[in-house]
Amino acid sequence: MKLTIDHIVIAAADLASGTEYVAGILGIAPQGGGAHPRMGTHNRVLGMADGVYLEVIAIDPDAPAPARPRWFGLDQGDVRARLEQGPFLAHWAARVEAPLDLTRMQAEHPDRIAPVVPMTRGDLRWRLTVPDDGSLPAWREAGHEAGGGLLPTLIQWDVEDYPGVSLPRQALTLKRLAGRHPQAALLRQGLAWMGTDTLIDIEQGSGPPRLTAHIDTPDGLKTLA
* pLDDT tens track for 203-218: 999 999 999 999 999 9
Q: How far apart are CA 136 and CA 155, in angstroms?
A: 14
Q: What is the pLDDT averaged over residues 186-208?
A: 96
Whole-angstrom distance, CA of residue 51 vs CA of residue 180: 25
What predicted TM-score, i.e. pTM, was given to this entire model? Answer: 0.96
Beta strand pairing call for 35-36 and 173-181: unpaired
Q: Residue count of the chain, please give it.
A: 225
pLDDT band with cut points at 50, 70 and 90 for residue 1? low
| Segment 110-165, tens digit of pLDDT | 999 999 999 998 899 999 999 999 999 999 998 899 999 999 999 999 999 999 99
Cross-sheet strand order for the sheet of 210-217? 201-204, 173-181, 210-217, 220-224
Asked if residue 155 lies in contact with residue 196, where contact means CB atoms within 8 angstroms, the answer is no
